[in-house]
C-alpha cells in the first residue's frame, strides 16, 4: 500500500480575546453565576440534553440559556418550554462565539439571581474550541452516531473540554461505537476530562451529569 501524502495547508485566523473572557469570568464569579459553554457538532442532541437537564434542575436553581445559531430560533423556544429564561443569539453566518458576543447575550438575558447559564454554542467541532467565551467550564457533546474516531480528527475540541459527554448511547451498538476506543482516543488528547456516556432519551447516565452540575454550581458560589 502506498504511503499517503500529507500536505500541511495554513492560514491564520485566530483572534485574541483572552483578556475580555477573563474579565467576564471574574464578573460572573462576583455575581455567583456559573456559565457553561456547551459545544458539539450539529445534531448531536445539545437541545434535547438541555431539555432533560432543565426538567431535573428547574425549581432547585435558576437557569438561563443562550442559544446560538447561524439562523432560526427553534431551540430557544424549546428550552423556554422547559422552564429556562432564554435568549437566541444569531451569529449572522459566524461559526463560533467569542467573549464579546457572549457578553452581549448575557446583557440581554440578565444574570441577576441566575445560578447557572448554558451557552449553547454554534454546532461546530472546530472553531468554537479556539475561542474563550468567558465560561466557567467547557463541556462538549459527541453523539455515538458520529463515531469513536472523532478525537483524532477534531483534537483541539477534545483538548480544551472539561467534560466530554457521549450522547445517544442508546444507539451506540447499532453504529459500532466503541466506548472503550473512544475513551482511549480522548485520553491521548486530554488525560483530565470527565467522560460521561448518557442518553437523554432513556435517562441512562443522566444522574452523573446532574450531580456534576450541582457540584460545580455549589463550588462556584462558595
Residue ranges that bind its own copies, judged by CB under 8 A: 1-2, 4-11, 13-14, 41-43, 69-74, 76-77, 80-81, 86-95, 97-98, 100-101, 104-105, 108-109, 122-127, 130, 143, 145-147, 149-150, 152-156, 168, 171, 174
**Considering beta carbons, is residue 80 or 208 the nearer one to its own copies?**
80
To its own copies, the closest distance from the beta carbon of 60 in angstroms equals 21
To its own copies, the closest distance from the beta carbon of 106 in angstroms equals 10
Task: Report which secondary-structure segment, H or E, holds 14.
Answer: none
Alpha-carbon span 196 to 205, nearest angstrom? 7
Alpha-carbon span 64 to 110, nearest angstrom? 9
To its own copies, the closest distance from the beta carbon of 218 in angstroms equals 29
Let me know: does 130 contact 96? Beta carbons within 8 Å.
Answer: yes
SS3 126: coil
Alpha-carbon span 64 to 15, nearest angstrom? 27
**Considering beta carbons, is residue 77 or 219 the nearer one to its own copies?**
77
To its own copies, the closest distance from the beta carbon of 167 in angstroms equals 10
**Considering beta carbons, is residue 160 or 213 the nearer one to its own copies?**
160
- CA dist 166 → 130, 140, 159, 204 (Å): 21, 9, 15, 11
**Considering beta carbons, is residue 58 or 77 the nearer one to its own copies?**
77
Amino acid at each position: 500500500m502506498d504511503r499517503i501524502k500529507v500536505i500541511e495547508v495554513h492560514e491564520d485566523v485566530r483572534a485574541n480575546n483572552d483578556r475580555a473572557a477573563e474579565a467576564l469570568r471574574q464578573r460572573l464569579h462576583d455575581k455567583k453565576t456559573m456559565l457553561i459553554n456547551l459545544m458539539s457538532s450539529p445534531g448531536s442532541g445539545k437541545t434535547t440534553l438541555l431539555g432533560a437537564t432543565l426538567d431535573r434542575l428547574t425549581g432547585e436553581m435558576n437557569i438561563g440559556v443562550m442559544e446560538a445559531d447561524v439562523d432560526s430560533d427553534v431551540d430557544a423556544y424549546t428550552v423556554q418550554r422547559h422552564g429556562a429564561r432564554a435568549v437566541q443569539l444569531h451569529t449572522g453566518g459566524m461559526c463560533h462565539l467569542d467573549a464579546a458576543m457572549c457578553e452581549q447575550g448575557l446583557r440581554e438575558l440578565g444574570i441577576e439571581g441566575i445560578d447557572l447559564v448554558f451557552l449553547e454554542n454554534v454546532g461546530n467541532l472546530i472553531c468554537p474550541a479556539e475561542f474563550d467565551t468567558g465560561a466557567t467550564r467547557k463541556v462538549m457533546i459527541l453523539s455515538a452516531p458520529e463515531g469513536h474516531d472523532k478525537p483524532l480528527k477534531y483534537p483541539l475540541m477534545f483538548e480544551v473540554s472539561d467534560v466530554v459527554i457521549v450522547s445517544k448511547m442508546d444507539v451506540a451498538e447499532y453504529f459500532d461505537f466503541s466506548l472503550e476506543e473512544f475513551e482511549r482516543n480522548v485520553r491521548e488528547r486530554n488525560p483530565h476530562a470527565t467522560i460521561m456516556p448518557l442518553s437523554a432519551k432513556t435517562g441512562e447516565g443522566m444522574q452523573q451529569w446532574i450531580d456534576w452540575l450541582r457540584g460545580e454550581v455549589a463550588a462556584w458560589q462558595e
